Amino acid sequence: MRLLIVEDEARLAENIARSLRETAAYAVDVAADGEAGLNAIESNPYDAVILDLMLPKLDGMQVLERVRQSGRRTPILVLTARDDKESVIALLNAGADDYLTKPFDLGELLARAKALVRRGKGQASAALTIDDLQVNTADRTVSRNGRAITLTAMEYRVLEYLAHRPGAVVSKKELLEHLYDYNWEKFSNVIEVYISGLRRKLDDGSSRKLIHTLRNQGYVLRA
């Protein structure tokens, strides 16, 4: 999954980004002002956005309103120093999916961000089940028919993205856009390498293949 943090406090932004990368294995981009954040949202298919309300150039409310006016439904968690009822109502009416008041607990922010990603993919639970495969997005564990499966960090990220879209064809381009941040060179066969590793580990001891390739289209996770 790929998230964007729009926050002008550099140390706070980096702490949030590092926690998301380390505890949730998300790819994370950071924008330091509202204008840069809006440009990033308009240019990239983020799975969720963490948006500070008090920003230079464009404030968070302006960013939020423009994103929703454009028709984008990207889940957005707003960080605000105001928790009065009128401010909260204004945020929700403008299209915020959730909010946290500063100062906040980093663990709570991470839990809310994960929940937003799940809801954005139409999944209410942290446990994803496809046939006899179980993917727990809370603790990043994977098992098949009760057999625990050890994956590399990137193998897990590929599998989690596919598991959020069971039965849907996911292109290589879509995987690259959602699994890597700005700095990644997107012209590579790295996805094929991860898919190959996943197939070997997931299908070990099972006659039913779970990851299927549709030529010139992409990959689909299904029984």
Q: What is the pLDDT along the chain (223 residues), one digit of tens a residue?
A: 999 999 999 999 999 999 999 888 899 999 999 999 999 999 999 999 999 999 999 999 999 999 999 999 999 999 998 877 888 899 999 999 999 999 999 999 999 999 999 888 888 788 999 999 999 998 899 999 999 999 998 999 999 999 999 999 999 989 988 888 776 665 567 889 999 999 999 998 788 899 999 998 999 999 8
Asked if the 127-221 domain carries CATH number 1.10.10.10, the reply is: yes
Residue 185's pLDDT is: 63
Q: Which CATH class is domain 2-120?
A: alpha beta
Residue 123's pLDDT is: 80
Residue 204's pLDDT is: 87
User: Dihedrals φ, ψ of 31, to 5°?
Assistant: -120, 140
What are the structural domain ranges in the chain? Answer: 2-120, 127-221
Please tell me the pTM assigned to this model.
0.84
- Is residue 88 within 8 Å of residue 42, measured between CB atoms? no
Which residues on adjacent β-strands are paired with residue 133?
A: 130, 144
H or E element in which residue 162 lies? helix 153-163
